[in-house]
Chain A
Amino acid sequence: MDIDLITNILFAMVRTGTPLLLVALGELVCEKSGVLNLGQEGMMLMGAMAGFGVAFTTGNLWFGVAAGIFVGMLMSLLFGFLALNLNANQVASGLALTIFGAGLSAFMGSGFVGKPLSGMEAWVIPVLSDLPLIGKALFAQDPLVYLSFILFGAVFLVIYHSRPGLILKAVGESPESAVAVGLSVMRVRYLAVLFGGAMAGLAGAYLSLAYTPLWSDNMTAGRGWIALALVVFASWRVGRVLLGAYLFGAASIMHLVMQGLGVSVSSNLLATLPYLATILVLVLLSSNQARIKLFAPMSLGKPFHKTQ
């Protein structure tokens, strides 16, 4: 492989990993608060549809991005009402949200299928983008990729180096203790759920505005589900989410690149690489059962009654 090819693979890896990184960061924060939201795919689809629809109608891509985020938050609000106010089963509510989002986005977006939109242009940063190997991957991307870097940094700082981060983790580990020290579990969880929705909506908008500027039913093609696996893969650590997202990105790129190079490995087998990677990591992690238990927020998925 020559250096140009590797540069291009790294570039594509970051782009392919970006939607996964965005959703997975949102889900990570949500899960840190103890709420398991399986509705990522549905929120992403709604974000993609709303983002495209608004950008197409107004002619402004940034209005589209804002709309994607807003709709993602609206969807997560619905989940929050079911799971937090009504204490409904979180797994069931999340699954319902995904099915609802897939159907509603197909219905509302039917008028936008097949419409062309000139997508988001890359912001090429001079000098830095000429760095060998990594220059193109890190400094010649579209603005939403840079935004994903910033969001990654922000989530990292908040979770590991701030008081709100401590509160978030406290609520996720032991809501009872959090209440005892005067924290509002409901408020923290709602904020975390809303953040998750905003990130999923943004990831959807990234797909329909920057990555492949078009709208069509189910265009996320299961990326919301991969992101859920990614959070487990990362064992609830922010840094590993980034690593995992790009690893997934690379695995799905390699399957295409290798075929182009004429490497005669079954393309079906290569297509399973990202999933094989997940299974492998899960196996490695679970070789020590205690470790998984240690990393998952203790109250994950459990409804919390304040009256307890």
Chain B
Amino acid sequence: MTNRFTPAALLRATASLLLAAALSGPALAAEKLKVGFVYVGPVGDAGWTFEHDEGRKEMEAALGGQVETSYVESVSEGADSQRVIRQLAQSHDLVFTTSFGYMNPTLKVAQSFPKVAFMHATGYKRAKNVGTYSARFYEGRYLTGVIAGHMTKSNVIGYVAAFPIPEVVQGINAFTLGLRSVNPKAEVKVVWVNTWYDPAKEREAAEALIAQGADIINQHTDSPAPVQAAEEKGVYAFGYDSDMTAFGPRAHLTGSVVHWGGFYTQTAKAVLDGSWKADDTWGGIAADMVKMAPYNSAIPKAVVEQVEGIKASIVDGSFHPFQGPIKDQQGKVVVPEGTTMSDGEILSFNWYVEGVQGELPK
């Protein structure tokens, strides 16, 4: 069952729920697990919030009659969020807050609701009843790099990047390592647009890169504008976050897509059987939290097979995208053969690997 909540409806629902609880007493306690979601954007048909909502629906489908979910969309990351989280906490057993900016509000509200389980996406602060979770997007990025290595003719790949923060640098590096594992001559040109979302600017960045010889465009921004630009200019592109095939049916090769459904189902199950703990989950392909968008038929079969092979070795743990030897831009080996970067090192990337052109803005 789904309730679409506006703040007013939320208030009404909360009130009626309290009333029902008062009337029927403890009999209600054994009822369905109530799970609330706080979204930063509108659900729409693509992007970050859309994928969270897909996850919510998948959990509902998987757990059938055992859960009941509701969500509040377009909650800005300021003071509003604390109010919304508080209201959800009053009538729910498990609350997912799905944006980085909800970190402190979630922790604050959680203090007053010790019996409610909270899960905060992409944050780093935890508490007794606040767990965190995120996805290892870089695993998917590595695989797109391998595909790019085979598909490029000009050996120049353009990368439209949002802000020079570790999360984005991590993606550039993983992509470049994948790219050069099959094509050591290929290089990555990065253009920083200094915004997560400005379709016009993202498009101009993609076109500037294409004009400078890039025949594949990758992106770490949120709009499908770079894919559109690639489609129009007759080059290839990788989407991000959600499947962007519709915006460039010919250009869109595949993309690293985030998938929360399995994780949401597991978490709800854990709360139901009492085994839930407030820990951190950073899952990748193996945890089914990162998936690949459908492969374009332009990718040769052998390449798809190779990529699927690497994917399998990431899943069984025999391969890690950030395992040595990894060289920096000056050609110096930073991660020696036989060692793998730790999660802490991956999460604090502030240097480019060999094969990325230009300097990382400081």
Contacts and interface: CB of A to CB of B under 8 A. Distances in A.
Interface in B201-257: 201-205, 207-209, 211-212, 223-225, 228, 242, 246-247
Interface in A195-228: 207, 211-214, 216-219, 221, 223
Interface string B176-205: 000000000000011111110111111111
A260 B46 contact: no
Contact of A207 (B50, B158, B200): B200
Interface string B79-122: 00000000000000000000000000000000000000000000
Contact of B192 (A115, A212, A267): A267
A216 to B, nearest CB: 7
A257 interface: yes
Contacts of A223: 200
B189 A113 contact: no
Contact of A260 (B209, B225, B246): B209
A116 B208 contact: no
B42 interface: yes
B77 to A, nearest CB: 15
A253 interface: yes
B42 A217 contact: yes
Contacts, number: 113
Contact of B190 (A106, A211, A216, A259): A259
A212 B208 contact: no
A114 B207 CA distance: 21
B247 A8 contact: no
Interface string B29-62: 0000000000001111111001000000000000
Interface string A96-118: 00000000001000100111100
B359 interface: yes
Contacts of A216: 44, 197, 199, 223
Contacts of B74: 106
Interface in A1-50: 4-5, 8, 12, 16, 19
A271 interface: yes
Contacts of B348: none
Contacts of A8: 207-208, 211
A307 interface: no
A264 B246 CA distance: 36
Given A216-B223, A256-B193, A257-B208, A110 B358 contact: no
Contacts of B158: 260
B357 interface: yes
B361 interface: yes
Contacts of B194: 267-268, 271
A213 B194 CA distance: 21
Interface in A228-261: 252-253, 256-257, 259-261
A266 B203 CA distance: 20
Interface residues of B, number: 44
Contacts of B224: 114, 116, 214
**Which DSSP category, helix, strand, loop or mixed, fits chain A's interface?**
helix
Nearest to A223: B200
- Chain A CB within 10 Å, residue with most, of B44, B46, B224: B44
B361 A260 contact: no
A126 interface: no
B204 A260 contact: no
B121 to A, nearest CB: 20
A114 B228 CA distance: 12
A182 interface: no
B44 A110 contact: yes
Given A116-B246, A212-B199, A259-B190, A5 B212 contact: yes
Contacts of B223: 212, 214, 216, 219
Contact of A12 (B164, B191, B208, B362): B208
A23 to B, nearest CB: 13
A264 B358 CA distance: 7
- Chain B CB within 10 Å, residue with most, of A110, A114, A268: A114
B189 A260 contact: yes
B278 to A, nearest CB: 33
Interface string B332-362: 0000000000000000000000000111011
Given A219-B199, A256-B205, A259-B192, A212 B225 contact: yes
A264 B361 CA distance: 8
Contacts of B200: 16, 19, 207, 211-212, 219, 221, 223
Contact of B247 (A113, A116, A221): A116
B199 A113 contact: no
B134 to A, nearest CB: 23
B361 A213 contact: no
Given A214-B199, A219-B199, A253-B208, A114 B225 contact: no
Shortest 8 CB-CB distances between A and B: which pairs? Answer: A113-B44, A114-B46, A114-B45, A212-B199, A267-B192, A221-B198, A116-B246, A256-B208
Given A207-B199, A267-B194, A268-B361, 19 more contacts: A12-B207, A113-B44, A114-B45, A115-B45, A115-B246, A116-B246, A211-B199, A212-B199, A216-B197, A216-B199, A217-B41, A221-B195, A256-B204, A256-B205, A256-B208, A257-B208, A257-B211, A262-B358, A266-B361
Interface of B: 41-47, 50, 74, 158, 164, 189-195, 197-205, 207-209, 211-212, 223-225, 228, 242, 246-247, 357-359, 361-362
6 contacts: A5-B211, A12-B208, A19-B200, A114-B45, A214-B199, A256-B205
